């Protein structure tokens, strides 16, 4: 099946039209790579944006973090949570806007998509912690954004969903169906968006290859963990009866990530527990 040229061009044009992450978020992500980073440096950047400051404090005071008293200032939040969590809160706050206000999907569909992204991000961070050699911040960011290309696809799925479902029914995988109907799959769309946002090449690669991790060259372990994180989130959704399996498990991700299948399966109950705790973040 040859995809309509206009559809493919419209998708690529839509990528170009999506506004980038705020400069504050980009500065925070850049700072996060510093080995000697201290919370004060992050706080000084975040405080330049009053709206973002309010969102970060709201997240700090959510049930997920379980503080017994209210966190009233960013310096206090930084000292209690540390740099890693503070960076994740900034990226989460800034990214939520796209999932809630982009595309023509219903409010319920947008919420489910955001919930899946949060689940994948948390899983990615915990898997990186268990693996021990990949930066948790970077893993969290990849997990949160690896499916951002689906936002762009949502603009076209209402008209093409029937064709996509027919292609799936013929035996194609979801990635094959996306490519056949749209001319591009969501990983490539997300990667082009990440390039437009001037993300580091290693993050672009992870978004592009998170379903086909063997294609990674810059940081195979990061891409492997990104894939495993989505599989963990997908399995949690299935166990909760919220969604059927959408994507196939790629065995090469285990070797690339440095985790054995046994270790991954041992971690799944913890991942599921953290995902359930994170429900408190979904509506913030």
Query: Which among 263, 139, 158 has a CA at the least distance from the CA of 210?
Result: 139
Looking at the fold, whether 243 and 258 belong to one and the same domain comes out as: yes
Summarised one tens digit per residue, pLDDT across range 88-109 is: 999 999 998 888 766 666 778 8
Q: Confirm if 158 and 104 have CB atoms less than 8 A apart.
A: yes
Summarised one tens digit per residue, pLDDT across range 51-93 is: 999 999 999 998 888 888 999 999 999 999 999 999 999 999 9
Looking at the fold, whether 149 and 217 belong to one and the same domain comes out as: yes
Q: Taking the alpha carbons of 153, 247, 236, 204 in that order, is the dihedral positive or negative?
A: negative
Summarised one tens digit per residue, pLDDT across range 106-119 is: 778 888 888 999 99
Query: Residue 86: its pLDDT value, please?
Result: 93
User: Is the per-residue pLDDT at 40 higher than 90?
Assistant: yes
Supply the DSSP string of 105-143, one letter for each residue.
Answer: --HHHHHHHHHHHHHHHHHHHHHHHHH-SS-HHHHHHHH
Looking at the fold, whether 28 and 143 belong to one and the same domain comes out as: no
User: Is the per-residue pLDDT at 229 higher than 90?
Assistant: yes
Looking at the fold, whether 45 and 174 belong to one and the same domain comes out as: no
Looking at the fold, whether 157 and 282 belong to one and the same domain comes out as: yes
Percentage of the chain lying above the pLDDT 70 cut: 96
Looking at the fold, whether 62 and 124 belong to one and the same domain comes out as: no
Looking at the fold, whether 93 and 160 belong to one and the same domain comes out as: no
User: Is the per-residue pLDDT at 218 higher than 80?
Assistant: yes
Looking at the fold, whether 213 and 116 belong to one and the same domain comes out as: yes
User: Is the per-residue pLDDT at 284 higher than 60?
Assistant: no
Question: Which residue, of 63, 78, 101, is where some domain finishes?
Answer: 101
Question: Which residue, of 65, 83, 101, is where some domain finishes?
Answer: 101
Looking at the fold, whether 73 and 146 belong to one and the same domain comes out as: no
Taking the C-alpha atoms of residue 153 and residue 24, their distance in angstroms, rounded to an integer, is: 27
Query: Residue 101: its pLDDT value, please?
Result: 62
What domain count does the chain have? 2
Residues of the domain holding 131: 1-18+105-284
Check which CATH number belongs to the domain holding 174 and give it.
1.10.3210.10
Looking at the fold, whether 173 and 191 belong to one and the same domain comes out as: yes
Looking at the fold, whether 177 and 267 belong to one and the same domain comes out as: yes
Looking at the fold, whether 52 and 163 belong to one and the same domain comes out as: no
139's CB contacts (< 8 A; 6+ apart) are 124, 125, 127, 128, 222, 225, 226, 229
Q: Confirm if 64 and 281 have CB atoms less than 8 A apart.
A: yes
User: Is the per-residue pLDDT at 178 higher than 90?
Assistant: yes
Query: Mean pLDDT, to the nearest integer, of 13-36?
Result: 89
User: Is the per-residue pLDDT at 128 higher than 60?
Assistant: yes
Summarised one tens digit per residue, pLDDT across range 142-170 is: 999 999 998 888 887 878 888 999 999 99
Query: Mean pLDDT, to the nearest integer, of 18-47?
Result: 92
90's CB contacts (< 8 A; 6+ apart) are 24, 25, 28, 42, 46, 52, 56
Question: Which residue, of 42, 76, 101, is where some domain finishes?
Answer: 101
Provide the whole-model pTM: 0.92
Give the other-Cβ count within 10 Å of 91's Cβ.
21
């Amino acid at each position: 099946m040859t995809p309509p040229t206009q559809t493919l061009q419209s998708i690529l044009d839509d990528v170009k039209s999506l506004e980038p992450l705020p400069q504050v978020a980009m500065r925070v992500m850049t700072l996060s790579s510093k080995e000697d980073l201290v919370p004060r440096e992050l706080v000084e950047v975040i405080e330049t944006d009053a709206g973002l400051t309010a969102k970060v404090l709201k997240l700090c005071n959510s049930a997920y973090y379980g503080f017994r008293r209210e966190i009233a200032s960013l310096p206090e939040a930084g000292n209690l949570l540390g740099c890693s969590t503070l960076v994740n809160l900034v990226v989460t706050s800034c990214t939520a806007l796209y999932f809630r206000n982009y595309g023509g999907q219903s409010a319920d569909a947008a919420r489910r998509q955001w919930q899946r992204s949060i689940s994948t991000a948390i899983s990615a961070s915990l898997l990186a912690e268990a693996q021990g050699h990949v930066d948790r911040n970077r893993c969290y960011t990849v997990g949160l954004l690896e499916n951002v290309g689906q936002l762009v696809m949502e603009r076209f799925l209402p008209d093409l969903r029937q064709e996509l479902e027919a292609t799936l029914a013929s035996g194609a995988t979801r990635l094959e169906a996306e490519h056949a109907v749209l001319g591009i799959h969501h990983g490539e769309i997300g990667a082009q968006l990440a390039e437009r946002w001037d993300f580091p090449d290693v993050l672009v690669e992870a978004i592009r290859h998170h379903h086909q991790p063997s294609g990674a060259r810059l940081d195979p372990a990061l891409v492997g963990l990104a894939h495993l994180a989505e599989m963990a989130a997908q399995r949690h959704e299935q166990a909760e009866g919220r969604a059927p399996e959408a994507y196939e498990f790629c065995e090469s991700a285990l070797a690339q990530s440095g985790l054995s299948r046994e270790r991954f399966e041992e971690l799944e109950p913890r991942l599921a527990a953290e995902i359930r705790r994170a429900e408190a973040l979904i509506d913030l």
